[in-house]
Amino acid sequence: MLPVEQLQEIISASNNIVFFGGAGVSTESGIPDFRSVDGLYNQRYKYPPEVMLSYTFYREHTAEFYDFYREKLLCPTAKPNAAHFKLAELEAAGKLKAVITQNIDGLHQMAGSKTVLELHGSVKRNYCQSCQAFYDDAFILQSTGVPTCECGGVIKPDVVLYEEGLSQETMQRSMEFIAKADVLIVGGTSLVVYPAAGMIDYYRGRQLVLINRGATHSDKKAKLLIQESIGEVLGRISLA
Ligand code: ZN
């Protein structure tokens, strides 16, 4: 049996699937991966990206932070791919309970997913640091310099920057979904970056599916390992 046929069987038999996704899910929509060889981290800037995406840099060089943020983190033309759409369909069909993602692009919601746990936040949400007023990514994109609120406060993206901790509530909910899942599908991540690597340890089932183009640190734990494009693989799954 082909791996995709095995995956089809696993998905068809379960109504309690959780998906955990990494950068690979977004790169197939044309969004650069921070950590890949071709990704942001190897591009040339005045400062390294991990410095520019730190909380200290945001506080001390806010205008430069936003120049970088607008140019490299906001991808207004990116569209969901076959993986995003299939996950939304699986949720609508009552088979998938949650998408847990390390991505900040909002593409799962754009594809129609409802229960999306964004471990690193989202570029779609930006808040005034003084009055907490909400601003979307379009507002940030059309702003120049330091985007400010009507009240005069500085706006900050709801994105987890370096030096910042992840939301405990999001972490907790994610771990609960993983712990209760019948099937855990991990896609588009090599599981080297925490908390991803640690979070799948909360899974207690025996149907771990790993879909990633390269090897991961958890390959041995997988019941099914598919080293192919996540969009191509999930795109071939049928809900019938
Ligand atoms: Zn304000």
What domain range is 88 assigned to? Answer: 1-30+78-120+165-240
**141 C-alpha vs ligand 1 centroid, how far in Å?**
18
Of the candidates 237, 240, 233, 115, the one whose C-alpha atom is nearest the C-alpha of residue 180 is 115
The answer to whether the CB of 143 falls within 8 A of the CB of 65 is no
What order do you get walking across the sheet with 224-226 strand by strand? 116-118, 96-101, 17-21, 183-187, 207-211, 224-226
The yes-or-no verdict on residue 90 having pLDDT over 80 is yes
- First vs last Cα of the chain: how many Å apart? 19
Q: Within a domain: residue 131? A: no
**In this structure, what token pair is assigned to residue 64?**
């430069």
User: What CATH number corresponds to the domain at position 239?
Assistant: 3.40.50.1220
Q: Percent of the chain having pLDDT more than 90?
A: 78
Per-residue pLDDT, 198:
86
Please identify which residue in the block is written with the tokens 């607008």: 70
Q: Within a domain: residue 199? A: yes
**158 C-alpha vs ligand 1 centroid, how far in Å?**
15
Q: Within a domain: residue 211? A: yes
In eight-state DSSP terms, residue 148 is B
Residues measured by CB to lie within 5 Å of ligand 1, the ion: 128, 130-131, 133, 149, 151, 153
pLDDT band with cut points at 50, 70 and 90 for residue 55? very high
pTM of the model: 0.94
Q: Within a domain: residue 134? A: no
Q: Within a domain: residue 14? A: yes
Query: Catalytic annotation on 217?
Result: no
Per-residue pLDDT, 211:
96
**164 C-alpha vs ligand 1 centroid, how far in Å?**
22
Give the chain's domain count. 1
Q: Within a domain: residue 18? A: yes
Q: Within a domain: residue 127? A: no
The yes-or-no verdict on residue 34 having pLDDT over 70 is no
Q: Within a domain: residue 222? A: yes
The yes-or-no verdict on residue 114 having pLDDT over 80 is yes
